[in-house]
Amino acid sequence: MATIRFQALRETLNRKPITVVEPSMRRSELYCINVFNSTKAKHYMPKEAYNAVLDAINQGARIDRKMADQVASGMKAWAISRGATHYTHWFQPLTGTTAEKHDAFFEPTGEGTAIDKFDGSQLVQQEPDASSFPSGGIRNTFEARGYTAWDPTSPAFVMGTTLCIPTVFVSYTGEALDNKTPLLRALQSIDHAATDVARYFDKNVNKVICTLGWEQEYFLVDAALAVSRPDLTMAGRLLMGHQAAKGQQLEDNYFGSIPERALAFMRELEIECIQLGIPVKTRHNEVAPNQFEVAPLFEEANLAVDHNSLLMDVMAKVASHHHFKVLLHEKPVAGINGSGKHNNWSLSTDTGVNLLAPGKTPKSNLMFLTFFICAIKAVHDYADLLRASIASAGNDHRLGANEAPPAIISVFIGRQLTEVLNELEHVTTGNLSPEEKTELKLNVVGKIPEILLDNTDRNRTSPFAFTGNKFEFRAVGSSANCAKPMMVLNTIMAETLRRFKQDVDALIDGQHLKKDDAIFNVLREYIKASKKIRFEGDGYSEDWAKEAESRGLSNFKTTPEALKIQVAQSSIDLFEAHQVMNKVEIEARHEIELEEYTKRIQIEGRILGDIATNHVIPTAIAYQNTLIQNVRGLKEIFEADYLPHAAQQIEMIKGISSRIAHIKTFVDEMIEERKKANKIEHAEEKAEAYCNNVKPYFDKIKYHCDKLELMVDDELWPLTKTRELLFTR
């Protein structure tokens, strides 16, 4: 009888927080202790090798074999000093997770002797058995092999006893098979485009980097309770379960005091992260019970993306020490908030200027406004691509569910900047009069420094909000790899900046406008052209969905719908123009994403069918039998007069029968739809069939199962209940 559930509850109730031993060193001393960063490289490598690595990082220069050997030798010596016995090329295949295959340094040399070996060739390139990673047909079409190649821009690190070398993963014909490669290409593109534009204002700028500060939301549930739920174990979310009577309605969790066991987990996580160079700084309770957030300081985007992938990995490991399971799913439990991963995004010059932060002088503010307005224009022009970049089966539950930004992409900038843009919208066409320019510089552009950081209003309902010195892309899902949204965002920004420069130069060369006048003219046009993407109101409201529609903004509610734009000719042209992805890569990714969607829904459908049929129905029947026994007994005692005593029980018996009948019918129908969908070859049609014909059964089945949960004796119910999962600590 319901043993797993009660065993799990008993286990959970007996848990004590694990004592986390704070290392003897302070966190500031521990920072990067397991990272082969430039300080260590300098110490462990000859000067020429160190300089070669710097050139590779800063100018993308190639590292020759001799240098690579020297780098490898230094890296090995350091790694062994940190206790490493193995090394691995660490990469991010399109499965969305990270991949590693460990090889020992140890190498026998014959006659019972051995050495520790790690040379340049092992550092620079590896050939993992790649056939089991998704490739969307790339490797079948071209070449059967893929290889990993060292990314010197992200430092190697030691995790446990393994030296991990961040790498890209590409096919032998050069197509990207991972998340990092297109991101690196997009970062290169934004560097060129943004540097060109920044040089209108400051000739000293030679490089622009993208900065990313992510905020990771997650749930912690007890490992024993999680194991008791097949849906949580395999799909990462509850596919059924009556809503707990108390959820988040009292709003007593957000920033509340952190439960002890969770705090112990966080402390160990932080210690691990800091040693790995992930600069985690913030921790707090989130809105839902058992929901938390961890956030680092921002870093260069490629490194930040690696660090987020690493964090997700480390979280799972640390959680197991504390008998927790980390839920990174976007919507683990219906009826309470799901989890997101805000991507705080900005651009920064090698002169140390944040291009999305208002400056101190009118000149630097004109630079800020240029980048700010171009960002809005980029989101306006490519809103659908941005939407596609965050589409996933998990995120479909969250977007537009009154807790996360809607699936409609819009930009929030706050009242003061709206006023500035309104003024700029009216500047004269052509050359500005000296008076107008003075007025603009003094009273419009010049006033911006007054909008200090703390002054920007916060609109939590916007998917893309300006927050004083950066944009916050809030619609990214909690389990997502940030590489994709960052790749898209930087590519569309690069394209917009490239066009901006073209437009400004055309006015300078063609119409002999002064530079500032040309810039004001183009900004005016961009403000007008992108106006409809700006929205300052409540993004969660019904009215916004209606208004957005009348503005002609898209509202793609499902992943198959949202992904379509990726393979449009305009998207292929864009990514090819910036050499971020070619047509083959785009189409392969598109197919992989559709397949992943299909598989996730397929798996959820199977699990739901199984638990409805094997857990819920038999339990309902067992309880129904008890009721039937009871009615029989009443009949025996009261004979002909039994009905007044048994009427309620008889109603319950009927109710249970009807729920069972519904569940059985819906499960059978769902299976039929799955069979039909499985016959479809075309990836997009198949995903659509799963989305439109299979998935709608989930809610119907859940509804009746949840009703039974309320009717059946609690002692018999086999599945850990929502309230237990969220409130047992």
Kindly indicate which of the ranges 339-347, 366-374, 407-415, 614-622 contains the residues binding Mg ion, using the contact rule CB under 5 A: 339-347
Give burial (CB, 10 Å; 0-12/13-18/19+) of 550.
exposed
**Closest distance between ligand ADP and the C-beta of residue 477, in Å?**
17
Return the structure tokens found at 415: 């009242």
Residue pointed to by tokens 């995790």? 159
Quick one: what does residue 630 bind among ligand ADP, Mg ion, none, with the CB cut-off 5 to 8 Å set by partner type?
none
Q: What is the DSSP string of 30-76?
A: HTTTTB--HHHHHHHS-HHHHHHHHHHHHH-----HHHHHHHHHHHH
CA separation for the pair 189, 489 (Å, rounded): 11
Q: Six-digit token pair at 715?
A: 């002692």
Question: Rounded to 5, what percent of the chain is helix, strand, coil?
Answer: 55, 15, 35
Q: Does the footprint of ligand ADP cover residue 560 (CB under 6 A)? A: no
Q: Which is nearer to ligand ADP, 215 or 396 (CB)?
A: 215
Among 167, 171, 211, 275, binds ligand ADP (CB under 6 A): 211
Is the sign of the CA dihedral 176, 182, 329, 605 positive or negative?
Answer: negative
Nearest residue relative to ligand ADP (C-beta): 213
d(CA 571, CA 578): 11
Least distance between ligand ADP and beta carbon 293 (Å): 8
Q: For Mg ion, which stretch binds (CB under 5 A), given 87-95, 118-126, 151-159, 338-346?
A: 338-346
**Does residue 659 bind Mg ion (CB under 5 A)?**
no
Token pair, residue 112, equals 């019972």
Residue 495 CA from chain centroid, whole number:
23
Q: Residue from 85, 354, 416, 692 that binds ligand ADP (CB under 6 A)? A: 354
342 binds Mg ion (CB under 5 A): yes
Three-class SS of residue 107?
Answer: strand
Give the nearest distance from C-beta 28 to ligand ADP in angstroms. 17
Q: Which is nearer to ligand ADP, 453 or 506 (CB)?
A: 453
Per CB under 6 A, which region of 339-347, 533-541, 613-621, 656-664 contacts ligand ADP? 339-347
Q: CB under 5 to 8 A by kind: which of Mg ion, ligand ADP, none does 298 bind?
A: ligand ADP
The answer to whether residues 726 and 333 touch, using CB atoms and an 8 Å cutoff, is yes
Counting every residue, how long is the chain?
729
Instruction: Return the number of the residue (211 or 364) whose C-beta is nearest ligand ADP.
Output: 211
- Which of 378, 382, 358, 379 lies closest to 368 in space, CA to CA? 358
Between CA 404 and CA 348 the distance in angstroms is 28
- Both tokens assigned to 269: 């996580």
Strand partners, 341: 216
User: How far, in Å, CA of 53 to CA of 24, rounded?
Assistant: 33
Q: 724 contacts which partner out of Mg ion, ligand ADP, none, CB within 5 to 8 A by kind?
A: none
Smallest gap from residue 344 Cβ to Mg ion (A): 7
| Closer by beta carbon to ligand ADP, 165 or else 295 | 295
One character per residue 185-224, x = contact with Mg ion (rule: CB under 5 A) = ------------------------------x---------
Residue nearest to Mg ion (CB): 342
Tell me if 201 sits within 8 A of 366, measured CB to CB: yes
Nearest to ligand ADP of 298, 690 (CB atom)? 298
Cβ 354 to ligand ADP shortest distance, Å:
5
Residue 270 interaction partner, one of ligand ADP, Mg ion, none, beta carbon < 5-8 Å per kind:
none
Q: Which one-letter amino acid corresponds to residue 206?
A: N
Q: Which residue, 312, 519, 490, 266, is CA-closest to 389? A: 490
Q: Which is nearer to ligand ADP, 298 or 535 (CB)?
A: 298
Work out how close the CB of 486 gets to Mg ion at its nearest, in angstroms, rounded to a whole number: 16
One of 96, 155, 182, 213 touching ligand ADP (CB under 6 A): 213
How far apart are the C-alpha atoms of 4 and 15, rounded to whole Å? 17
Q: Look at residues 306, 296, 412, 301 and name the one whose alpha carbon lies nearest to residue 348.
A: 301
Cβ closer to ligand ADP: 276 or 663?
276
Closest CB 355 distance from ligand ADP, rounded Å: 9
Provide, rounded to whole angstroms, the least separation between the CB of residue 472 and Mg ion.
Answer: 5
The correct pick among 79, 163, 212, 656 for binding ligand ADP (CB under 6 A) is 212
Nearest-approach distance from CB 209 to ligand ADP, in angstroms: 10
Output the six-digit token pair for 637: 């005692």
| Shortest spacing between CB 346 and ligand ADP, in angstroms | 3
User: Phi-psi bin for 475: left (phi > 0), alpha (psi -120 to 50), beta?
Assistant: alpha
User: What is the nearest approach in angstroms of ligand ADP to the Cβ of residue 452?
Assistant: 13
What value, to the nearest 5°, has the Cα angle with vertex 276 and ends 270 and 279? 55
With respect to Mg ion, which residue has the nearer C-beta, 342 or 721? Answer: 342
Pick the stretch among 11-19, 326-334, 340-348, 385-393 that binds Mg ion (CB under 5 A). 340-348
Give me Rg for the CA atoms of the chain.
Answer: 29
Count of residues that interact with Mg ion, criterion CB under 5 A: 2
For residue 340, the minimal CB distance to Mg ion (Å) is 9
Is the distance from CB of 486 to CB of 415 less than 8 angstroms?
Answer: no
The three-point CA angle 611-613-614 to 5° equals 65
Q: Which is nearer to Mg ion, 40 or 342 (CB)?
A: 342
Beta strands in 322-439 (DSSP E): 324-327, 341-349, 411-412
* E strand or H helix at 307: helix 301-321
Smallest separation (angstroms) from ligand ADP to the CB of 47: 33
Residue 470 near Mg ion by CB under 5 A: no
> Of 44 and 345, which has the nearer Cβ to ligand ADP?
345
Question: In the chain, what is the greatest distance between 2 CA atoms, to the nearest angstrom?
Answer: 105
Count of residues engaged in binding ligand ADP, rule: CB under 6 A: 15
Quick check: 479 and 394 in contact, CB under 8 A?
yes
CA–CA dist 641, 634 (Å, integer): 9
Closest CB 303 distance from ligand ADP, rounded Å: 12
User: Binding residue for ligand ADP (CB under 6 A) from 151, 215, 222, 270?
Assistant: 215
From the list ligand ADP, Mg ion, none, partner contacted by residue 125 (C-beta under 5 to 8 A by kind): none
213 touches which of Mg ion, ligand ADP, none (CB within 5 to 8 A by kind)?
Answer: ligand ADP
> 169: part of which helix (H) or strand (E)?
strand 162-171
CB of 341 to Mg ion, least distance (A): 10
With contact defined as beta carbons under 8 Å apart, do 375 and 469 qualify? no
Q: Return the number of the residue (354 or 416) whose C-beta is nearest ligand ADP.
A: 354
Site for ligand ADP in 275-334 (CB under 6 A): 295, 297-298
Write out the two tokens for 529: 């052209």
Rule CB under 6 A: which of 448-487 touch ligand ADP?
Answer: 467, 469-470, 472
**Which range in 11-19, 76-84, 120-128, 211-219 contacts ligand ADP by CB under 6 A?**
211-219
Q: How many angstroms separate the CA atoms of 726 and 723, rounded?
A: 5
Instruction: Check: CB of residue 466 under 8 Å from CB of residue 412.
Output: yes
Tokens of 722: 């929502």
Q: How far is the CB of 486 from ligand ADP (least distance, A)?
A: 11
Binding site for ligand ADP (CB under 6 A): 211-213, 215, 295, 297-298, 344-346, 354, 467, 469-470, 472
Q: Which parts of this chain interact with Mg ion (CB under 5 A)?
A: 215, 342
